[in-house]
Structure 1
Amino acid sequence: MPESTAAARPSTTSPADPDRQLTTQGRERKQQLVDCAAQLFTERGFAETRIKDIVDAAGVAKGLFYWYFENKEALFAEVAADIRLRLRKHQASAIDPEADPLRQIRQGAQASVQFMAENAHFFSLLEVETGAVTEESRRKGTAQHISDVRTIILRGQDAGVIVDEEPDLLALAVVGTVGYYSHYHRTGRTNVGIEDLSRFVARSVVKVLAADDAAAAAALVE
């Protein structure tokens, strides 16, 4: 049976406090729990992964778990936040800060599809799991992605390279296209390789957003 996540914390540990400053060793130990949990969640699912399984995999005492996390739901939220941060870092590393906004969106979209393919197990977990914790994680991830894209779109509209339409809807179009094709790839419903697919998605969003043919052509130059 799945382990109850409502069990009280052991009295020998301090309550998990998100504002508490951790030492370098503490941050490393917490990240170790996050990494082990991510692997187990993707292999077994959220419900079937017990706290005992996580601490055993991390090689730490169960009491230490509650020093960092209130319960398994809090740990899952941390795992989801960690992968969102990794996605944003991957996008940032792929985007040329000197490029025009439309080209930046192309670079970011291509990097996003590649990252989601490399971490397909976790994104599949978010799709199939039900419950408040996974729903909140999905919503936060989507909202963050939309916000990031919207910021670039506004700059592109000011520069005249992105079409003058509602920026929220344009951002949703980008995020939706990335998410749809990523889902199609990880569920095995396309034989297109990830490099070719990511470039196709990137080209597609550029053509939707471009203010004119000249802007699209400039953004698509490799």
Structure 2
Amino acid sequence: MTEDQAPSAAVSVSDSAASANEPRRRLTARGSQRRGQLIALATRRFAADGYHPTSVADIVDELGVGKGVFYWYFESKEMLLEEILRDAQRGLRRAQNHAASTAPGPIEMLEMGIRGAVKWSAEQPELAKLVEFALTDERFEPLVRKGRASLVSDTVPLLRNAIDQGIIPEADPEMLAYAVFGVAAHLTSVFLERDGSDPDVLADAVVDFCLRGIGAR
């Protein structure tokens, strides 16, 4: 049986529980494409219509496949959103690290990382919106918090280096990292995702506020 020949009925609870302990199926090129289509379509529908109002039936009907195809790749709608959120946070982390990779010093790396994050949010508004939603839902909030902790862990060494070099005043670098991330994420959410501010202008404001806050300006 191929991926697109999966039975149209949803898998049973026992089948889902069993598959949770099995390694992910190796997908053919066609299977990887189909899985990507499900993720892309669900991302769009969840962002536009909301996670809770959007059903598995809505997703597969628009894609033109049966429910069995959906359950071949994902045990549940919840698992699908978790996968989307993980992909989103990996993408954000890559964007930050790439933006900071050529900066000459710790504060410059911090600045470019902030700019990279704002740019990512501007270019991926649907994913950014779903991350914000996930923070309001007790099922998904721990996953997002865990991902954000990884982003903070990338920032702590930069701040520690800046303190050691006398660039910024002595302080707890982890506390500073959480403060910078929290301010940047909140300002981006309010002024970019809700108000549609210019990303470059917003990035300038976020960088200025954060660097002044840690004593780098």
TM-score, normalising length from structure 2? Answer: 0.79
Tell me the equivalent position of 2:129.
Answer: 124
CA contact (8 A) 2:43 2:127 kept: yes
Give the number of the structure with larger relative contact order, counting CA–CA contacts within 8 Å between residues 6 or more apart.
1
Q: Which runs of 4+ in 1 moved over 4 A?
A: none
Q: Percent identity?
A: 31
C-alpha contact (below 8 Å) 1:109/1:178 kept by paired residues: yes
**Residues 96 and 116 in structure 2, CA contact (< 8 A), matched pair in contact too:** yes
Structure 2 residue 38 is matched with structure 1 residue 33:
yes
Unpaired segments of 5 or more residues in structure 2? 1-9
Please list, as runs of the form range in 1=range in 2, the aligned pairs for 1:127-142 lying within 5 A after superposition. Answer: 127-128=132-133, 130-142=136-148
User: 1:43-192 alignment to 2 at 5 Å?
Assistant: 43-97=48-102, 99-128=104-133, 130-185=136-191, 186-188=193-195, 192=197
Q: Is the 8 A contact 2:43 2:126 kept in 1?
A: no
Cα offset, 1:72, TM superposition: 0.7
Give the secondary-structure state (helix, strand or coil) at the position aligned to 1:170.
helix
> Residue type matched to 2:84 in 1?
V
Question: C-alpha displacement at 1:128, in angstroms?
Answer: 4.6
Give the superposed CA RMSD: 2.9
Pair 65,158 (structure 1): closer, same or farther in 2 beyond 3 Å:
farther
Counting matched residue pairs gives: 204
Write the distance in 1 (CA, Å) between the matches of 2:115 and 2:214.
Answer: 15
1:33 and 1:39 map into 2 onto residues whose CA distance is 10
CA distance in 2, matches of 1:28, 1:19: 19
Distance 1:18 1:88, change over 3 A: farther
In the aligned structure 1, how far is the partner of 2:170 from the partner of 2:94? 28
State the TM-score, normalizing by the size of structure 1: 0.77
Contact 1:52 1:62 (8 Å CA) reproduced? yes
Aligned partner letter, 2:194? T
Q: Look up the SS of the partner of 2:142 in the other structure.
A: helix
